[in-house]
Amino acid sequence: MNLSPLQKARYEYQPKLPGMLRNGIADICVKEGKATKSVADQDKIKALFPNTYGKKEITFVKGANTSQAKKQVVGVILSGGQAPGGHNVVCGLYDALKATDKNNVLLGFKGGPSGLLDDDYVKFTDKIIDAYRNTGGFDIIGSGRTKLETEEQFAIVEKVAKKHGLTAIVIIGGDDSNTNAAVLAEYMAAKKTGVQVIGCPKTIDGDLKNEDIEASFGFDTATKTYSELIGNIERDANSAKKYWHFIKVMGRSASHVALECALETQPNICLIGEEVAAKKMSLAQITKYIADAVETRGNNGENFGVAIIPEGIVEFVPEFSKLIAEINELLAGEKTEKFNALPDWNSKYEYIKAGLTKASFKVFDILPQGIQQQLFLERDPHGNVQVSLIESEKLFSEMVKTELAKRKKAGTYKGKFGTQHHFFGYEGRCAFPSNFDADYCYSLGYNAFMLIQYGYTGYLSKVSNLSKPAEEWKAGGMPITKMMNIERRNGKDKPVIRKALVELDGKPFKYFEKHREEWAVKTCFTYPGAIQYYGPAEVCDLTTRTLALEKSR
């Protein structure tokens, strides 16, 4: 393999563990906290998880090891979208497992949850692990989005686990994958298989967090990567002074990524989906909000700017989600064929007009034609519109353009409006993990093994106090059921981990709200630059503005 100088150097990087884990299992004992209950729907969740509900939170502290010595054979999977640091979770898990007993075994199941079902695995060795230390990506075993949720699937996993003599399974994933981890843990406990299941909180979207889990891994590196790029674009915009850049950033549901990038780069505009939903903003209102900033700046001779648009924004616009729901109905089942058979866009347009309510057609009709067509071209396997594929950065820039043309005619707007569009998502998901993510992920994996060794199941590996230096981080575990409630999914009530959306009374949003009027009209850009891996801690080890603000007094 050809190695870049940075990759070679990163192999040598020794991730920092929380102080209390530094001497390994010999020096660790468990401090039990209070029994937990789910965030909502306690009776229902308790009934669904009779064997794993209500367990105590635990913290590891220094003290004599009281865990039972036994040979461990652990299986691990990476699940869902890539997030920087995934390899280090595996490395931390491997190092803890081998440091505890060199006869312990770690199997990596390939391609995500389906690897467990297909029994497609690799037995990790020092050589394999050493080639992935502190690197980005999930390519060590690959990832996938197969859901582990049916009894039949669990029965297959049970068989595979038995074949390999697995004592535990570690699922590295987001809210859905960890929900499945909780259900699998309950299944394994109910069947008395002796197989423990432990989750690790992953997602660049940052929406798997709560009072216990301070951050999901990957958020730090991904937002730093996007912020570097956004800062570079800001500088370009401020140099050439001729473009407004509309930048969509990933974050399928929550707007944490957009908000963090805004805190890092101070753009002119950043939309926050949760605010749009709370204020029930229409497309026209959002367009006006952006156009006002463009007009003020343009009239001041500043015909450039930067607007950040979160990927999931359109689903937060009430009139737009209603439109999507109606389109899904309009094309349900055989109706898709009928629609596709129409000869041209004009006849399709008439079909749509006749099928939508008046209010939804009005919304449809103001969309640029390219977006209108996207709504009908891109369908998921269930026949639904794939909202994440809608080019919302173009949607808003087009709508702003139309609005500005009116203002120009009316004589209020005197500037010029040239645009560029960008989408930052995949660029950040496999970056070399920042020192924070390298340390945090290694700690999560190392700690996951401690939970296994102490016999816990249905727990999420928890490393907290993250705004402090790693030495002061705390390690322990939290029952996954604590984060669960009942939500309606595909027409059925399901136990799921509650997604953490941006809190409008939280400190990160409040800070943004306080400054955004000034950022909108003045040029207040900040340029975070590239992630630094070597140098002073205040440059290299700092985590996100979001976490710093959340933890500030």
Residue 42 CB contacts under 8 Å (≥ 6 apart), including other chains: none
Q: How far is the CB of 226 from ligand FBP (least distance, A)?
A: 11
- Rounded to whole angstroms, how far apart are CA atoms 463 and 174? 16
Which one of 109-117, 156-164, 203-211, 537-545 is the stretch in contact with ligand FBP (CB under 6 A)?
203-211
Q: Which of 387, 390, 423, 382 is nearest to 253 (CA)?
A: 387
The catalytic residue among 175, 205, 220, 437 is 205
The DSSP call for residue 304 is -
Q: Which of residues 169-198 bind ligand FBP (CB under 6 A)?
A: 174
* CA–CA gap between residue 220 and residue 211 (Å, rounded): 18
Question: CB of residue 210 vs ligand FBP: minimum separation in angstroms?
Answer: 16
Min. distance of Cβ 191 from ligand FBP in angstroms? 28
Q: Binder to ligand FBP among 311, 391, 403, 439 (CB under 6 A)?
A: 311
What DSSP assignment string belongs to 151-212? HHHHHHHHHHHHHHT-SEEEEEE-HHHHHHHHHHHHHHHHTT---EEEEEEB-TT--S--SS
Written as one letter, the residue type at 468 is K
Residue 73 is given by DSSP the state E
Between residues 301 and 381, which has the closer beta carbon with respect to ligand FBP? Answer: 381
The answer to whether 533 touches 6, Cβ cutoff 8 Å, is yes
276/310 Cα distance (integer angstroms): 11
Q: CB 295 → ligand FBP: shortest distance, Å? A: 32
Q: How many CB atoms lie within 10 A of CB 32?
A: 11
Looking only at residues 473 through 502 of this chain, which bind ligand FBP when binding is defined by CB under 6 A? none
Single-letter amino acid, residue 258:
A
Closer CB to ligand FBP, 85 or 174, in the complex: 174
Q: Which stretch binds ligand FBP (CB under 6 A): 75-83, 111-119, 230-238, 365-373?
A: 75-83
Least Å distance, CB 176 to ligand FBP, is: 7
Assigned token pair, 55: 């367990």
Distance of alpha carbon 44 from alpha carbon 351, whole angstroms: 44
Provide, rounded to whole angstroms, the least separation between the CB of residue 179 and ligand FBP: 12
Helix (H, G, I), strand (E, B) or coil at 445: helix
Does 326 sit near ligand FBP (CB under 6 A)? no
* 81 near ligand FBP, judged by CB under 6 A: yes
Interface residue with ligand FBP, options 80, 136, 142, 445 (CB under 6 A): 80
Which position among 10, 209, 252, 394 is part of the footprint of ligand FBP (CB under 6 A)? 252
**Residue among 297 and 429 whose Cβ is closer to ligand FBP:** 429
Among 38, 374, 388, 481, binds ligand FBP (CB under 6 A): 388
Among 189, 229, 250, 502, binds ligand FBP (CB under 6 A): 250
Q: What CA–CA distance (Å, rounded) separates 187 from 164?
A: 18
Task: Considering the complex, state which of residue 10 and residue 429 has its C-beta at the smaller distance from ligand FBP.
Answer: 429
Alpha-carbon span 89 to 195, nearest angstrom: 20
Shortest gap between Cβ of 388 and ligand FBP (angstroms)? 5
Question: Any contact of residue 203 with ligand FBP (CB under 6 A)?
Answer: yes
Can you tell me the distance from the alpha carbon of 188 to that of 181, in angstroms, rounded to the nearest whole number?
A: 10
Where residue 75 falls (left for φ over 0; alpha for ψ -120 to 50; beta otherwise) is beta
- Examine the residue annotation and report whether 176 is marked as an active-site residue of this protein: no
Q: Within 420-439, which residues bind ligand FBP (CB under 6 A)?
A: 429
By CB under 6 A, tell whether 205 contacts ligand FBP: yes
Report which of 247, 251, 229, 223 is spatially closest to residue 309, judged by C-alpha positions. Answer: 247
Please state whether beta strands 196-201 and 168-173 pair in parallel, antiparallel, or not at all (unpaired): parallel
Catalytic residues: 205
Give me the residues that bind ligand FBP (CB under 6 A), please: 80-81, 83, 174, 203-205, 250-252, 311, 388, 429
